[in-house]
């Protein structure tokens, strides 16, 4: 998917994104087990399915997981995107960096109307380590993308810090 919202066609800040699956059926169930029921070992399994869509995105310099807000991370006990990024790194040798911090404790996007999603994530991310992304080709890792606004806001933050390009890679692309 090029850097546009799949629903409204709005230009988004990432250059392109790819997903391994549609967010439905068994894939939805597996992601739920991984994300909400602590089945952390599923990250290695899911990462293997990211290799094919990754091949369509060129050669990134680094993997950056879309971060959780610290409150959500403490509640869940882990970051599913960071686990995915680390599993993918083991398969590819592409280093993982965590320069983004989520400073806004956003409501879950899945519960919001399309218009509200962009507003919900606006200003959600800041960069703690600008030098890690300056002049780099960055690959953002997330579990699910629907409208692309979370990835876009993270990409905007990375590009402001000097990233050459920002692509998104997700396990599943959902319908809205």
pLDDT digits (tens, 9 = 90+) for 10-63: 678 899 999 999 999 999 999 999 999 999 999 999 999 999 999 999 899 999
**How much is the average pLDDT of 161-174?**
96
pTM of the shown model: 0.91
Q: What pLDDT does residue 105 have?
A: 87
Q: Say yes or no to pLDDT of 143 above 80.
A: yes
What is residue 119's predicted lDDT score, i.e. its pLDDT? 85
Nearest CA among 88, 85, 90, 101 for reference residue 140: 85
pLDDT of residue 107: 77
Residue 2 class from Cβ within 10 Å (0-12 exposed, 13-18 middle, 19+ buried)?
exposed
- Cβ contacts of residue 108 below 8 Å, gap of 6+? none
Q: Rounded mean pLDDT of 146-151?
A: 88
**Which pLDDT does position 132 carry in this prediction?**
92
Q: Which residues, 6 or more positions from 41, have their beta carbon under 8 angstroms from its beta carbon?
A: none
Residue pair 143/116 in contact (Cβ under 8 Å)? The answer is no
DSSP 127-144: ES-GGGTTT-EEEEEEEE
Quote the pLDDT of residue 5.
Answer: 59
pLDDT band for position 9 (cuts 50, 70, 90): low
Sheet holding 165-173, edge to edge: 2-4, 11-22, 165-173, 137-145, 62-65
Q: Residue 115 and residue 167: Cα distance in Å, rounded?
A: 23
What are 109-124's pLDDT values in tens digits? Answer: 777 777 788 888 888 8
> Is a pLDDT exceeding 90 seen at residue 176?
no
Alpha carbons 170 and 104: distance in angstroms, whole number: 22
Q: Could you give the CA distance from residue 166 to residue 149 in angstroms, rounded to a whole number?
A: 14
pLDDT for 64-107, tens place per residue?
Answer: 999 999 999 999 999 999 999 999 999 999 999 999 999 988 87
pLDDT tier, 2 (very low <50, low <70, confident <90, very high otherwise): low
Mean pLDDT of 138-152: 93
């Amino acid at each position: 998917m090029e850097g546009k919202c799949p629903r409204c066609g709005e230009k988004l800040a990432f250059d392109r994104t790819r997903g391994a699956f549609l967010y439905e059926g068994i894939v939805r169930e597996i992601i739920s087990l991984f994300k909400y029921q602590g089945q952390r070992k599923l990250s290695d399994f899911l990462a293997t399915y990211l290799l094919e869509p990754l091949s369509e995105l060129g050669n990134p310099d680094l993997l950056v997981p879309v971060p959780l807000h610290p409150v959500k991370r403490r509640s869940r006990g882990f970051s599913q995107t960071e686990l995915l990024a680390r599993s993918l790194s083991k398969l590819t040798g592409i280093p993982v960096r965590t320069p983004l911090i989520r400073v806004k404790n956003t409501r879950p996007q899945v519960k919001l109307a399309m218009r509200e999603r962009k507003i919900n994530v606006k200003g959600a991310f800041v960069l703690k380590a600008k030098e890690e992304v300056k002049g780099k080709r960055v690959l953002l890792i997330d579990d699910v993308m629907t409208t692309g606004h979370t990835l876009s806001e993270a990409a905007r933050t990375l590009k402001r810090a000097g990233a050459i390009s920002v692509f998104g890679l997700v396990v599943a692309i959902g319908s809205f």
